[in-house]
């Protein structure tokens, strides 16, 4: 009996992006042809990638923030970092989650640490609001906007089985609490951005962490989920925040 080829999510993403060497790509192609479940997973990744492109395409068309341009002119050595930030925004359109993982030139861990401290209870909130459902939650959209100084809305993640139940406020930051399948906690931490761009997804212990940051807002999503599930949650979160 021939040994079954093991195909990881990373293999599928690289295959979809055309980043596999020829022999491995052919092996993945053959595996997809003979495995309906694997083919379905690849189709979901393709759909996610198309949605990511639709979501982030407007970002590539936006003019650079004046602060970035001014900073690059004042400090010539910053131009390469600025170019890296722009590359991160462009690569997310082309490379999906692989780009998030490998091309995050501005890795300021401060917002991640703050988010994980809030999630773990290390940092006590100034206010905690119990939320019964998404309809009631939207009454606090104005509170969220005022807290993070950005035009956002509380996202509904119920399509993926995540029920919103709490909002924690930390001065100029906010954290939304969701209960997912098997009662697992999923958190969304937000605060005003420092002006840098960042797109990243990585593991931290048992958690999967996703960071999305532009010149206006920083968001950190964290939960005990797979890479693929985090990708879909990130899409749903982004559309919910900005819709």
Q: What CATH number has the domain bearing residue 202? A: 3.40.1000
Mean pLDDT computed over 142-160 = 92
Do 156 and 226 lie in a common domain? yes
Which tokens go with 49? 């990638």
214: nearest Cα among 49, 55, 78: 55
Do 114 and 200 lie in a common domain? yes
Domain that includes residue 150, residue range: 106-242
Least-confidence region, from 14-23, 126-135, 177-186, 214-223: 14-23
Do 225 and 113 lie in a common domain? yes
Max mean pLDDT among 30-34, 166-170, 236-240 falls in: 166-170
CB neighbour list of residue 52: distance below 8 Å, 6 or more residues apart: 92, 93, 96, 231, 235
Do 204 and 132 lie in a common domain? yes
Q: Is residue 175 scored above 60 in pLDDT?
A: yes
Q: Are strands 163-170 and 185-192 parallel, antiparallel or unpaired?
A: unpaired
131: nearest Cα among 190, 172, 175, 75: 175
Assigned domain for 208 exists:
yes
Assigned domain for 92 exists:
no
pLDDT digits (tens, 9 = 90+) for 50-84: 666 665 555 555 555 565 555 555 544 444 444 44
- pTM higher than 0.85 for the full model? no
Which tokens go with 171? 């001065």
Which tokens go with 103? 């091309």
Assigned domain for 93 exists:
no
Do 214 and 114 lie in a common domain? yes
Using the 8-state DSSP alphabet, how is residue 150 labeled? S
Q: How far apart are CA 62 and CA 85, in angstroms?
A: 14
Do 27 and 141 lie in a common domain? no
Q: Is residue 169 scored above 50 in pLDDT?
A: yes
Do 165 and 233 lie in a common domain? yes
User: How many domains, in total, are found in the chain?
Assistant: 2
List Cα–Cα distances, 182 to 125, 140, 232, in angstroms. Answer: 26, 27, 18
Assigned domain for 90 exists:
no
């Amino acid at each position: 009996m021939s040994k079954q080829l093991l195909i990881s999510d990373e293999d599928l993403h690289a295959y979809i992006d055309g980043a596999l060497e020829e022999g491995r790509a052919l092996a993945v192609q053959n595996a997809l042809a003979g495995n309906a479940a694997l083919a379905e997973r690849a189709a979901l990744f393709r759909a996610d990638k198309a949605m990511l492109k639709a979501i982030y395409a407007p970002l590539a068309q936006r003019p650079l923030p004046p602060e970035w341009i001014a900073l690059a002119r004042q400090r010539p050595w910053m131009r390469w970092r600025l170019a890296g930030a722009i590359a991160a925004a462009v690569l997310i359109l082309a490379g999906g989650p692989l780009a998030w993982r490998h091309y995050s030139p501005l890795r300021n861990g401060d917002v991640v640490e703050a988010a994980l401290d809030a999630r773990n209870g290390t940092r006590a909130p100034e206010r905690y609001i119990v939320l019964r459902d998404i309809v009631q939650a939207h009454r606090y959209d104005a509170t969220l906007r005022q807290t993070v100084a950005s035009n956002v809305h509380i996202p509904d993640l119920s399509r993926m089985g995540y029920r919103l139940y709490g909002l924690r406020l930390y001065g100029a930051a906010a954290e939304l609490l969701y209960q997912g399948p098997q009662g697992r906690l999923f958190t969304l931490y937000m605060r005003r951005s420092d002006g840098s761009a960042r797109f990243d997804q990585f593991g931290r212990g048992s958690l999967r962490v996703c960071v999305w940051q532009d010149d206006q807002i920083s968001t950190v999503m964290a939960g005990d989920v797979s890479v693929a599930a985090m990708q879909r949650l990130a899409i749903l979160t982004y559309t919910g925040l900005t819709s």
